Amino acid sequence: MTDHEHKDDAVPAKKVKAGKGTDAAKAESPEAESPTAESKAESTKATGTTGASVTPEDAAPARGAGGLASSGTAAGEPELEKQPPKAFLEVRDLRVHFPTQDGLVKSVDGLSFSLEKGKTLGIVGESGSGKSVTSLGLMGLHTVGQYGRQRPHLSGEIWLNGQELLTADPDEMRKLRGREISMIFQDPLSALHPFFTVGDQIVEAYRVHHKVDKKAARRRAIELLDRVGIPEPAKRFSSYPHEFSGGMRQRAMIAMSLVNNPELLIADEPTTALDVTVQAQILDLIRDLQQEFGSAVIIITHDLGVVAELSDDILVMYGGRCVEYGTAEKVFYEPQHPYTWGLLGSMPRIDRDRADRLIPVKGSPPSLINIPQGCAFNPRCPYADVPAGGVTRTERPELRETQPGHLSACHMEPEDRQRIWTEEIVPKL
Amino acid sequence: MTNSANSEPAGAATGTLTDPPEGESLLRVSGLKKHFPVTKGLFKRQVGAVLAVDGLDFDVRSGETLGIVGESGCGKSTMGRLITRLLEPTAGKIEFEGKDITHLGVGGMRPLRRDVQMIFQDPYSSLNPRHTVGSIVSAPFKLQGVQPEGGVKKEVQRLLEVVGLSPEHYNRYPHEFSGGQRQRIGIARALALNPKLVVADEPVSALDVSIQAQVVNLLDDLQQELGLTYVIIAHDLSVIRHVSDRIAVMYLGKIVELTDRQSLYGTPMHPYTQALLSAVPVPDPRRKAAQGRERILLKGDVPSPMNPPSGCRFHTRCWKATEVCRTTEPPLVPLATGHEVACHHPENAPDQQPGDTKLLRLADGVGTAG
Ligand SMILES: Nc1ncnc2c1ncn2[C@@H]1O[C@H](COP(=O)(O)OP(=O)(O)OP(=O)(O)O)[C@@H](O)[C@H]1O
Ligand code: SF4
Ligand SMILES: [Mg+2]
């Protein structure tokens, strides 16, 4: 946000941008942006953390007590287990397990986090760490789609705006999807039908949730296409997806996912398939639109540059679980988990030369059918023997708060982690 | 050329390279072009051509890593396939160790097939799923009729160890391996005949970051141990920065800038290079604000290589473009020691066409200019 403001008034003369569309729109409505900027600055100051948070697993009793005190009545009813949420989005102990011939695939295995409106949570992790299944779970899409007919075993709670989604009936879920929750995929062709024009598909998405005539819906679609920077939107309305370039398709899909002003936007690898200059346009667009609509955004990616740029908070996933959670600043500058160190150590830098050798994570990601005993990361962790008594191989570490708002799941003592990070890792980054 | 301090821009104005230092050049490319015909209708009438590679001049020096970077469709992979002679050039010349290999036939290519090897992007599709690792890695011996000392099997097992796999993997099939391991199999195969030059096309882009780092380190180790020369093609500017000694930036079938790593990332001269570098998200939340401010947002997409813009191909998206940019193609010339650029109005260097009229955009705001 703030960077955008600066961008328009503090651009060095030579850096006048060649881009138009979104920039012009931005420049014309600065007043629309400033309130968001202030409230963001405020909330950052007030709490030290930003909009999202993770509840430690062992804090469940406390949460229960808090909930009881506030509701008071109706004790003894099983529903009471489900305490109403405080945050806009609250995910509690989400588990998504797929039965397969080879065994139960525990794609998501106990994930909790929350997110406020106007904030962005970045979820990072390697392929197969459960990022996409998490987002599909939120969308209620886990029963359909990419993984075939197998119905997953689902448990936990997903609260959006005070409504629990896992127990919501399918009709209700269908209404929410596209209106309150919307998703941007890596591959726009998976979201756009090849036989219908881009415009008609956006109109359709709009009319599912709004009782308006075709003309009004068309106007809305063209407005959105324009908003996402499609040139000549009225003309492009009648194009088919294959007539668009990759970047334009991605924009068209974003237009479609935003047509109903969703309150929660989930972007799963939204720029992975795109060139870097187009990626910059799309990231800019996502950020602008979020500020404009005040939505909550979850961005799922393996690209640490993208998360650093967009996220207020970061959740690092490994083997279907959260291993580290904190503000972007904390996760990049004082990471607590050896897997996070591994991600940072693996990464070549655009902004500076690194020492000759990168420091990769050894081995490969775990099988989600046979998640290693103890800490899922222990077979790859260079520090698995630092905690005494082989505890890393027998006991699964809980997600614990090491500093306010900063959580990690590791058996090592904070002093050991501090020492290893500063003495062994930082000098090699 | 690139490292002679007294390079004369005047002499280089034709766009051709002057001589590289003696003995250093392993591969030299001049005026290299590849045009793919585009046909239409029942009779396959040619209606145009994709100018995938449209006049490249560069050399690859013994022992170095030359990085080739650019956005999709800029011709990187075509270039890779041309210099390994998997594709027949439309025009230009390729010399390997001083020998013209541009139009060598199958027989003539045979010895070259040992010296020049290629590693592909997709470890999944570049390995035949029905062949064992042993037969995949030993294929080059069979093709070349080479009998390694101690036998093929022993040599293959040694190669597997070199790339960090286990000799026991000899009888396994590709699907039993992870992406990173499959890429190692591809590397073992490329190394079998002890090549001099390895051309790697997106060798790590299909891999997760931690696995990517393993493979990058492996390539680095192998280069040091075996004295290999690499041409590494990638779209990832961070990876390219890490692996390359020198880097060529491509745009629409042309090299727009060619220089060493320090200069390219420190003082880029071509506006496109600048835009490209500024677009990469920096993995540092403290840089968030600064980066947004400095980012050069290019409008629209890369124009079609079937019908590239006149003059400087970047002029439809360039914020510095002037009239001359639209009409006259800027030659790739050294503007500093070892720093070649094709631009009339470079950054970090004297303007080549001062006082030219700023280009008025015909259709301002329309992203698909050109
Ligand atoms: N229906 C299913 N049946 C079996 N396995 C499944 C099913 N759905 C997901 N999985 C497995 O769950 C794991 C996590 O999948 P997911 O798509 O979330 O990974 P990801 O982190 O998003 O990876 P990537 O970055 O490659 O997309 C994978 O191993 C996947 O194969
Ligand atoms: S020659 Fe002109 S259009 Fe091309 S990059 Fe340089 S300034 Fe831009
Ligand atoms: Mg995924």
| Closest ligand relative to B319 C-alpha | 2
Shared domain for A155 and A245, answered yes or no, is: yes
Calculate what percentage of chain A has a pLDDT beyond 90: 40
User: A127 C-alpha to center of ligand 3: Å?
Assistant: 6
What's B90's domain CATH number? Answer: 3.40.50.300
Shared domain for B195 and B286, answered yes or no, is: no
Q: Which residue has the higher pLDDT, A31 or B188?
A: B188
What are the b/e assignments for B242-280, b being 16+ CB within 10 Å? Answer: bbbebbbbbbbbbbbbbbbbebbbeebbbbbbbbbbbbb
A206 domain residue, yes or no: yes
How far is the alpha carbon of A165 from chain B, nearest alpha carbon, in Å?
32
- Are B366 and A231 in contact (CB < 8 Å)? yes
What pLDDT is stored for residue B39 in this prediction?
A: 87
B256 domain residue, yes or no: no
Residue of B nearest to A233 (CA): B366
Task: Please give the angle made by the CA atoms of A67, A70 and A72, to the nearest 5 degrees.
Answer: 95
Residue B202, H or E segment:
none
Domain span including residue A254:
58-70+85-311
Last-in-domain residue among A265, A291, A311 = A311
Shared domain for B238 and B272, answered yes or no, is: no
- Are A15 and B72 in contact (CB < 8 Å)? no
A327 domain residue, yes or no: no
Shared domain for B296 and B153, answered yes or no, is: no
pLDDT higher than threshold 60 for residue A65? no
Task: Pull the structure tokens for residue B173.
Answer: 């099939």
Q: pLDDT means per 10 residues in chain B (370 residues)? A: 39 38 78 93 86 96 96 92 94 95 87 90 77 92 88 93 88 85 90 93 87 91 94 95 97 97 96 94 82 74 89 95 95 96 96 85 41
Which residues numbered 333-352 in A keep a CB inside 8 Å of some CB on B?
Answer: 333, 342-351
Average pLDDT along chain A: 79
Strands B116-119 and B197-201: parallel
Residue A306: which of A341, A255, A350 has the closest Cα? A350
Shared domain for B286 and B227, answered yes or no, is: no
Structural domain count of chain A: 2
User: A58 C-alpha to center of ligand 2: Å?
Assistant: 60
Shared domain for B309 and B211, answered yes or no, is: no
- Are B281 and A283 in contact (CB < 8 Å)? yes
What pLDDT is stored for residue B290 in this prediction?
A: 62
What pLDDT is stored for residue A245 in this prediction?
A: 79
Ordered alpha helix ranges (H), A318-378: 328-333, 338-346
Using one digit for the tens of pLDDT, what is the confidence trace for A219-268?
999 998 988 888 889 999 999 998 887 778 888 988 898 888 889 999 99
Mean pLDDT, residues A53-67 taken together: 41
- Are B208 and A365 in contact (CB < 8 Å)? yes
Domain span including residue B275:
268-341
Who among A18, A304, A357 is closest to B297 (CB)? A18
**Distance (Å, rounded) from C-alpha A86 to C-alpha A426?**
37
A113 domain residue, yes or no: yes
How far is the alpha carbon of B291 from chain A, nearest alpha carbon, in Å?
8
Instruction: Name, in order, each residue with C-beta under 8 angstroms of A373's C-beta and a sequence gap of 6 or more.
Output: A393, A394
ipTM: 0.84
Ligand 2 binding pocket includes B311 (Cβ within 6 Å)? no
B251 domain residue, yes or no: no
Ordered alpha helix ranges (H), A142-182: 170-176
Shared domain for B274 and B235, answered yes or no, is: no
Q: At residue B216, what are phi and psi to the nearest 5 degrees?
A: -60, -45
**Distance (Å, rounded) from C-alpha A204 to C-alpha B323?**
45
**Distance (Å, rounded) from C-alpha B50 to C-alpha B47?**
10
Report residues near ion ligand 3: CB below 5 Å: A 132
B38 domain residue, yes or no: no
> Three-state DSSP class for B291?
helix
Of A184-188, A367-371, B169-173, the least confident? A184-188
Q: Which residue has the higher pLDDT, A350 or A7?
A: A350
- Are A309 and B291 in contact (CB < 8 Å)? yes
Cβ atoms B190, B170 nearer than 8 A:
no
What pLDDT is stored for residue B289 in this prediction?
A: 61
**Distance (Å, rounded) from C-alpha B53 to C-alpha B76?**
8
How far is the alpha carbon of B9 from chain A, nearest alpha carbon, in Å?
25
Shared domain for B137 and B279, answered yes or no, is: no
User: B307 C-alpha to center of ligand 2: Å?
Assistant: 18
Identify all chain A residues contacting B177, using CB atoms and an 8 Å cutoff.
none
> Does A385 reach chain B within 8 Å, measured CB to CB?
no
Q: How many CB pairs under 8 A join A and B?
A: 185
Residue of B nearest to A8 (CA): B293
What's A234's domain CATH number? Answer: 3.40.50.300
**Distance (Å, rounded) from C-alpha B193 to C-alpha B112?**
11
B249 domain residue, yes or no: no
Last-in-domain residue among A311, A327, A358 = A311
B253 domain residue, yes or no: no
Residue B322 alpha carbon, nearest atom of ligand 2: 2
Structural domain count of chain B: 2
Shared domain for A114 and A181, answered yes or no, is: yes
Q: Which residue has the higher pLDDT, B301 or A29?
A: B301
Using one digit for the tens of pLDDT, what is the confidence trace for A283-323?
888 888 888 888 999 999 989 999 999 999 999 999 999 99
A161 domain residue, yes or no: yes
What pLDDT is stored for residue A186 in this prediction?
A: 78
B69 domain residue, yes or no: yes
B181 domain residue, yes or no: yes
A340 domain residue, yes or no: no
- Are B295 and A280 in contact (CB < 8 Å)? yes
- Among A106, A123, A126, A133, say which to mutate for ligand 1: greatest number of ligand atoms within 8 Å of CB: A133
How far is the alpha carbon of B221 from chain A, nearest alpha carbon, in Å?
9
Shared domain for B136 and B272, answered yes or no, is: no
pTM for this model (two decimals): 0.81
Shared domain for B174 and B105, answered yes or no, is: yes
Using one digit for the tens of pLDDT, what is the confidence trace for A343-368?
999 999 998 888 778 999 988 888 88
pLDDT higher than threshold 60 for residue A382? yes
Identify all chain A residues contacting B351, using CB atoms and an 8 Å cutoff.
none
